[in-house]
Structure 1
């Protein structure tokens, strides 16, 4: 699969809250760095993040623009609440090896009606 195809599959699985399916798209030692928290390394840490997020919020990712350059795909996204963000995905051998995401954490919490936690992945 091309990096853009991997990201489109990621969006599909994300919108189904398919934690297992999402984790399968990541290399075993992948890094996911959402700028609102420290980088997460490895599928287990990435799984925990998705489990936490899908428990506390109703999330949808709408593809706005998807760019591809070599092993990279760049996704500009929005959600139904008006939140917008951007994700960078480095894909090798059909798996995400690195992801970095940019979005406004405080707006996310406010739009979801979530009390702002001490740290981002507090449950």
Structure 2
């Protein structure tokens, strides 16, 4: 499977709010760092992160604008149905996500989804 194909499967699982399927796509020692947040280390912690996020904002949906592949990396430019957008970088090793970094505006996301701002 190519990195771009794996990222497309990731998008499908994300859009189905399937935290278990997402967790299965990560290496045991994977790191997911959504830049507005602290890095999350380990497959199980990443799965829990998705469970928490889906519970907090049930309307999350990823529409790929483009997926670009270079070597063992894939870049996902995305938007959601409300026009909110961002970008994710996925390093793939042995058909699993080893590293993921995401860039998006947390304040805009919270406001768009009516999530109370942390104090």
Deviations 1:25-49 (A, max 9, x none): 0001100000011111101211121
Q: How many residues align?
A: 118
Q: Report the 3-state secondary structure (helix = DSSP H, G, I; strand = E; otherwise coil) of the residue aligned with 1:117.
A: coil
Compute the TM-score of the two structures, normalised by the length of structure 2: 0.97
Q: Report the 3-state secondary structure (helix = DSSP H, G, I; strand = E; otherwise coil) of the residue aligned with 1:114.
A: coil
- 1:83 aligns to what? 84
Unaligned runs of 5+ in 2: none
- 1:121 aligns to what? none
TM-aligned CA deviation for residue 117 of structure 1: 1.8
Compute the TM-score of the two structures, normalised by the length of structure 1: 0.94
Partner Cα separation in structure 2 for residue 14 and residue 40 of structure 1: 17
Deviations 1:60-115 (A, max 9, x none): 00000110000000000000111100000000111000000000000100000111
- 1:3 aligns to what? 3
Partner Cα separation in structure 1 for residue 113 and residue 38 of structure 2: 22
Determine whether 1:41 maps to 2:41: yes
Unaligned runs of 5+ in 1: 119-123
Check conservation: 2:31, 2:100, Cα contact below 8 A. yes
CA root-mean-square deviation: 0.7
Partner Cα separation in structure 2 for residue 97 and residue 71 of structure 1: 10
